[in-house]
Chains A and B, each alone.
Chain A
Amino acid sequence: QVQLVESGGGVVQPGNSLRLSCAASGFTFSTFGMHWVRQAPGKGLEWVAVISNDGNDKYHVESVKGRFTISRDNSKNMLYLQMNSLRLEDTALYYCAKTDCDSTVCRLLDSWGQGALVIVSS
């Protein structure tokens, strides 16, 4: 069955960097687009980024553009989110999620991980 396991979360000071990883198993990873979604404390879910199955297309929410980068390594079945210049408002539980098709227009999230907690604090 599909399994997504996030790692790399932690406590970091404002302005610093962190890289989240998502290990995928139970499906043909290279076939599907992947997303990152986050949930700040007490808030609803917020979409963060999407990447196509081959990694050639990617999009990020406006609030993280230029700071966060989604990427993937299909040879390792891994999804990544490189987060630079972190801000207090980036504090959240970050989920990786699988879509139901291959491109960045695939936006139905049919499997999710349990999340990785990122706390930005001075």
Chain B
Amino acid sequence: DIQMTQSPSTLSASVGDRVTITCRASQSIDHWLAWYQAKPGKAPELLVHQASRLAGGVSSRFSGSGSGTEFTLTITYLQPEDIATYHCQQYHTYVTFGQGTKVEIK
């Protein structure tokens, strides 16, 4: 099974900051990586697919990069509405998720 390791598990930042979340795969997954945003009581939303392609309607403050085994999700100009847990998912071989990164406002 492909393991996904996300870091950090919790991130505290100020409004306006640039934040970066990392996801590492236990083996190469090419560019078959997605990022999701999950807020309590709401349906998770697809943010990024194929490592760097923004899903429709997603703010351009979000961007994804990476290939192979190392990937990042970057949020520029952090806003209060970005408070959420972010999950990476590989879909190269079956489906596995990272442990999630909770983003808080400092």
Query: Which chain A residues have a beta carbon within 8 Å of chain B's beta carbons?
Result: 4, 35, 37, 43-47, 50, 95, 97, 107-115
Q: Which residues of B contact A111 (CB under 8 A)?
A: 43, 46
Name the distance in Å between B72's Cβ and chain A's nearest Cβ: 18
Which residue of chain A has its CB nearest to the CB of B98?
A44
Which residue of chain A has its CB nearest to the CB of B41?
A114
Do B46 and A108 have beta carbons less than 8 Å apart?
yes
Q: Can you report 26 residue pairs joining A to B where beta carbons are below 8 Å apart?
A: A4-B43, A37-B95, A44-B98, A44-B100, A45-B89, A45-B97, A45-B100, A46-B97, A47-B94, A47-B96, A50-B95, A95-B44, A97-B44, A107-B91, A107-B94, A107-B95, A108-B46, A108-B49, A108-B91, A110-B55, A111-B43, A112-B43, A112-B44, A112-B45, A114-B41, A114-B43
CB-based A-B contact count at 8 angstroms: 49
| 8 A Cβ contacts from B1-54 to A | 6, 34, 36, 41-46, 49
Q: Which residues of A contact B97 (CB under 8 A)?
A: 37, 44-47
Name the distance in Å between A89's Cβ and chain B's nearest Cβ: 17
The 5 closest A-B pairs by CB, nearest first: A107-B91, A47-B95, A45-B97, A44-B99, A112-B43
Name the distance in Å between A99's Cβ and chain B's nearest Cβ: 9
Q: Which residues of A contact B87 (CB under 8 A)?
A: 44-45
Which residue of chain B has its CB nearest to the CB of A110?
B46
Which residue of chain A has its CB nearest to the CB of B33?
A108
- Extra contacts, 6 of them, besides A50-B95, A108-B46 (Cβ < 8 A), are A43-B99, A44-B98, A46-B97, A110-B46, A110-B55, A111-B46
Interface string of B53-95 (1 = CB under 8 A from A): 0010000000000000000000000000000000101010011
Which residue of chain A has its CB nearest to the CB of B93?
A107
A111 and B43 CA atoms in complex are apart in Å by 8
Name the distance in Å between B21's Cβ and chain A's nearest Cβ: 13
A59 and B3 CA atoms in complex are apart in Å by 19
Which residue of chain A has its CB nearest to the CB of B100?
A44
A110 and B36 CA atoms in complex are apart in Å by 9
Q: Which residues of B contact A115 (CB under 8 A)?
A: 43
A111 and B46 CA atoms in complex are apart in Å by 7
Do A109 and B34 have beta carbons less than 8 Å apart?
yes
